[in-house]
Amino acid sequence: MPDEQRKIPIPAVMNVREFMAKFGTHEACLGHLRRVRWGENLDRFTCPACGHPQGWWLAKRQLVECCECHRQTSVTAGTVFHRIRSPLWKWFWAIYQTAQDKKGIAAMELAKQISVSYSTAWLMLQKLRRAMRRRDERYVLQGLVEVDETYVGGRADGTPGRGAAKKTPVAVALELRSNGKPGRVAMRSIERPDGYCLRRFAEGKIKKGATLKTDGWSAYKLVAKAGFGHEAKVTGGGKVAVQTFPWLHTFIANMKRVILGTYHSVSPKHLDNYLAEFNYRANRRWLEANLFDRLITAALGGKAVTYKELVTGDS
């Protein structure tokens, strides 16, 4: 169908040609990071050593030097890009693919596109997911919030639903606006689908005083005692539950489709990072045209982490 006949307008996102023109070299990417982090004239620079607000740019060394203590700081220091070995344009391409594709990109596919090893591509994407996770931790849901739990993992023998074995339980909360449309979503893995674990999830992601809308499972009574209102509806699961909580189950289905379609499977150890990636894009779904810039900002605000720390879980 020709573009002029489309009923849904195409978002004005940056295309591949525009990306290569702006960020096709390491130097262009470094200059962009400097402007985003410190401003065109270093007006947002603050020395990490002494806190002095002024510095000058050393063009040959690509560093900023503090006017007070003379400490020299790299634009990538203390960020997701700290001590990276791959050129910045490859990182920018990973950010572009992560931001512009609703399903994300698998590490193997990214490795082929930018000619790096699988472990390097995996590390790049995991660092970005952690930055997205840290960014979304600043927000809490409020008002009327639907809450449920689901399970992530392959097919396994045994009881489905809350009795499922070899699957990771995931708590899900969705904010509903006054017009009935969905707002922000939050997902996080939990140790067990019981009242104690669900209460910890709710206390961390939902503002006190909000009203929880749940199914009739008794565990949610304990959750509500943490300072929430509570509306319980007995559904019995299946199609009735989907009809009662349509938006909540839509987001759950989309999350599982992303994991199955793009990543095929994820380990429980790293599941929260993949959930954070889904949450980040879902919570900014109306800002698609600006998502690349926002993810650059999130990466600059992220913390440096090594491959060993990610694998061992010590970070």
User: What pTM value is reported for the model?
Assistant: 0.89
160 shares its domain with 258:
yes
- At 311 the pLDDT is 81
24 shares its domain with 66:
yes
CATH classification at residue 264: 3.30.420.10
Question: Which backbone phi and psi does 181 adopt, to 5 degrees?
Answer: -85, 155
Give the sheet arrangement for strand 211-215, strand by strand. 182-189, 168-176, 144-152, 211-215, 229-233
152 shares its domain with 277:
yes
- At 298 the pLDDT is 96
- At 221 the pLDDT is 94
Q: Tell whether 306 is covered by a domain.
A: no
Domain termination residue (choose one: 63, 98, 131) = 131
149 shares its domain with 75:
no
The b-or-e profile of 175-212 (16+ CB within 10 A means b, else e) is bbeeeeebbbbbbbbbeebebebbbbbbeebbbeebbb
Q: Could you give the 3-state DSSP secondary structure of residue 24?
A: coil
Q: Tell whether 166 is covered by a domain.
A: yes
Domain termination residue (choose one: 98, 131, 164) = 131
Q: Are 59 and 42 in contact (CB under 8 A)?
A: no
152 shares its domain with 275:
yes
Determine the structural domain holding residue 85 and report its residue range.
Answer: 16-131
What's the total number of domains in the chain? 2
151 shares its domain with 268:
yes
Per-10-residue mean pLDDT, the chain, length 315 = 58 88 96 95 94 94 95 95 94 96 94 96 96 94 96 67 72 95 97 95 97 93 95 81 90 95 92 96 92 96 83 70
Q: Which amino acid is at 138?
A: R
Q: Could you give the 3-state DSSP secondary structure of residue 235?
A: coil
Condensed to tens digits (0 to 9), the pLDDT of residues 180-230 reads 899 999 999 999 999 999 999 999 999 999 999 999 889 999 999 999 999
